[in-house]
Amino acid sequence: MNQNRITSLFKIQYPIIQAGMIWCSGWELASAVSNAGGLGIIGSGSMYPDILEQHLIKCKAATNKPFAVNLPLIYPQVADHIDLIIKYQVPIVFTSAGNPKTYTAKFKEHNIKVVHVVSSAKFARKAEEAGVDAIVAEGFEAGGHNGREETTTLVLIPMVVDAVKIPVIAAGGIASGRAMAAAFALGAEGVQIGSRFVASVESSAHINFKKRVVEAGEGETLLTLKELTPVRLLQNKFYNDVMKAYQRGATKEELSQLLGRGRAKKGMFEGDLDEGELEIGQVSGMINDIKPAAEILHEILQEFHLVTQKLGNVKF
């Protein structure tokens, strides 16, 4: 594949970016994806600063290719994480869940590329005004925390592409070369892939969660808890408890109490499939095996080339 604005910006071979996913994307997954020619991301939202530091050291030892850190701006110790990102000269930061105006200038001072994750064209414009280098536009299909607007990837990507001049990376529902080709047809110049990489050998997700993702079928995830932070989850006992709470008209406070603390860790990292939060995308219904990350990336690329070739031959 030739270079495009995304591969040039990140100095990578292929415009495939592995999403920063709390509890699932530590240094092992990030370095495996970067070594395979994509961009690996350490999901720092679930890491205390000392843990992030360990992961930065290990990631740098495991790859000499560029990698990034995903920094949810609502993270309680965001300033400590930023200091570490600067100290370890991480070349790229993906910010999410917050205002990109707050830290973009600081990262730029240190020559760090900034990408912001949005779920609407309105926020894409704001991020561009704040000076970010690229946008991740994430559709309703995506796993985990998600926008309130419920705009699907098919609708969101062209809207965002038309709204900004900077390059757009498509996310939400992409786990195959077919989906990558569709995203490029909509104007994206890169794809960000989360769920498929959860079911990789190198992901730090608990094996119970990886197996559950492989078993998941069509329609098994739903977006819920919009009153708190909207999140797409696999249906399980915890999810059913949330539904029962809605049925009895639970208040926001009651929902918050039911969610409690550390549900995501319990489900995805400790493998408690009943009581934990199991954050994954709709596309989990199409994921059927656990494979090394490099194999996943190359299969996606191969299919992308086949599909784009085939489409190139379509004449009416």
**Binding stretches for ligand NDP (CB under 6 A):** 22-23, 26, 28, 43, 45-48, 51, 54, 58, 72, 74-77, 96-97, 145, 204, 229, 261-265, 269-270
Nearest to 229 by CA among 262, 254, 252: 252
Measured distance CA(80)–CA(210) in Å, rounded: 31
Q: Which is nearer to ligand NDP, 156 or 301 (CB)?
A: 156
Q: Which is nearer to ligand NDP, 239 or 304 (CB)?
A: 239
Query: CB 125 → ligand NDP: shortest distance, Å?
Result: 19
Q: How far is the CB of 279 from ligand NDP (least distance, A)?
A: 9
User: How near is the Cβ of 221 to ligand NDP at its closest, in Å?
Assistant: 16
Q: How far is the CB of 214 from ligand NDP (least distance, A)?
A: 20
E strand residue ranges, the chain: 16-18, 40-43, 67-72, 92-96, 113-118, 134-138, 144-145, 168-171, 190-193, 221-224, 231-234
Place of tokens 């205390």: 48
Q: Residue 26 or residue 38: which is nearer to ligand NDP going by CB? A: 26
Whole-number Å distance between alpha carbons of 172 and 136: 10
Q: What are phi and psi of 43, to 5 degrees?
A: -85, 105
DSSP-assigned letter for residue 200: B
Nearer to ligand NDP, 270 or 295 (CB): 270
**Helix locations, 88-136, DSSP H:** 104-109, 121-129
CB of 8 to ligand NDP, least distance (A): 26
Q: How far apart are CA 17 and CA 30, in angstroms?
A: 10
- Six-digit token pair at 242? 């949330």
Measured from the CB of residue 254, what is the shortest distance to ligand NDP in angstroms?
Answer: 16
Instruction: Closer to ligand NDP by CB, 126 or 178: give it.
Output: 126
Residue closer to ligand NDP, measured from CB, 133 or 279:
279
